[in-house]
Amino acid sequence: MTMLCVGTLVAKPKFKSIDNDGNATSIVIVDNNAGDSMSVSSAVFHNLGKSFMANAMRSNLENGVAKITMEFKRCTEFSNCYVVLIINGEKVRVNVPVGGVVKSGKVQ
């Protein structure tokens, strides 16, 4: 996976959203105190005891707010979900508080 640099602090990202539009499960993570620099080198989605490497990642840093959008293999069932990212060389775990079965659209 290619390293994405968007501008270096210890990250405190939070889950924002997850959806199943298209052929992927997309997850958005935000950090409202990212400072002026951040690099994301890896993202792994954990769901139902399985791990999925990100197929794509996009990041944006504007006015100290970082937004990381990741796409993973499409999942339709969710339980015990979290994402592990490598941000500024540090492993960061972000819980994804969802559960249930979702065929398409926004996951609740």
Which CATH number do you get for residue 41? 2.60.40.2440
21 lies in some domain = yes
pLDDT at site 82? 97
Distance CA 70, CA 53 (A): 10
pLDDT band at residue 105 under the 50/70/90 scheme: low
pLDDT band at residue 7 under the 50/70/90 scheme: very low
Token reading at 23: 């052929």
**If you average pLDDT over each of 18-22, 30-34, 50-54, which comes out highest?**
50-54
Closest by CA to 106, choosing from 22, 50, 49, is 22
Find the mean pLDDT for residues 69-91.
93
Find the mean pLDDT for residues 23-35.
93
Number of domains comprising the chain? 1
What pTM did the predictor assign?
0.83
Q: Which domain holds residue 85?
A: 4-97
